[in-house]
Structure 1
């Protein structure tokens, strides 16, 4: 079991034991810090999920997301990152991103699907966008994203 998965299970167990509401019942998180990213000539406004709870909730329970927005998941260190779509209502594409901002691989994900979608190699960042955004903008594995978050490490 990966470290990320163990952390997620520990978080869920702690939440259930503490009487905290189940993650599925929580509303969408809309107040996370935001940063601007670029890829080529395109700008993306992203919410940053950097704590275990923020990453666990992610885009759950969102009914829509503006076309130029996304969510950037930031992990403490590179590792195999795997994502699923439990309680996520909109189709997304996950871009698994190396420390320098280079997209390692992309994965299309279906709403409410609990299949794992994993990084092809250890990464520190995962960017979720509305499904189709990367294809429409001809952004593929190997392209590099810009932004202060990638320069901070």
Structure 2
């Protein structure tokens, strides 16, 4: 009997928890690569998608992230207002090289800015880059050209 109750509880938890895919309805994705790593990145390439970003999400799969694409190169800064999960952000030049990486705490309003004008920024789970020894100068392949 205990096994049956546990199974129902587990199923109820799975059904009631929104999946990552359900939270991201409508955003296209792209596969990015760096070394041996593959990243499934949602594209935030419109003003609305960039404004919402990863706000209000409670989790993100390990090799998933969000790629922000801007029309113009600039010092696009990010903050973590209404963002529930800590993130790392890599600011990326047009040639795919990472300019700098910042660690961002959840629910904060500190600005995190690139060290040079960029059009791309990739948000991943906190320490994703450092745990894989991905540093400034590393190339991210597969960036969509706009």
**TM-score normalized by structure 2?**
0.82
Contact 2:44/2:68 (<8 A) preserved = yes
2:141 is aligned with 1:146? yes
User: 2:56 aligns to what?
Assistant: 61
1:84-125, Cα deviation, whole Å (9 max, x unpaired):
000000000010000011000000000000010000010000
The root-mean-square deviation of aligned C-alpha atoms, in Å, is: 1.4
C-alpha distance 148-140 of structure 1, shift in aligned 2 (>3 A): closer
Contact 1:29/1:58 (<8 A) preserved = no
Distance of 2:143 and 2:124 partners within structure 1:
19
**TM-score normalized by structure 1?**
0.79
2:75 is aligned with 1:88? no
Distance of 1:107 and 1:81 partners within structure 2:
13
Contact 2:39/2:64 (<8 A) preserved = yes
Is there any run of 5+ residues in structure 1 with no aligned partner, and where? Answer: 1-26
Contact 2:96/2:143 (<8 A) preserved = no
Is there any run of 5+ residues in structure 2 with no aligned partner, and where? Answer: 1-21
Which has the greater radius of gyration?
2
Question: Map of 1:1-153 to 2, 5 A cutoff?
Answer: 28-149=23-144, 152=145
Give the C-alpha shift of residue 29 in structure 1. 3.7
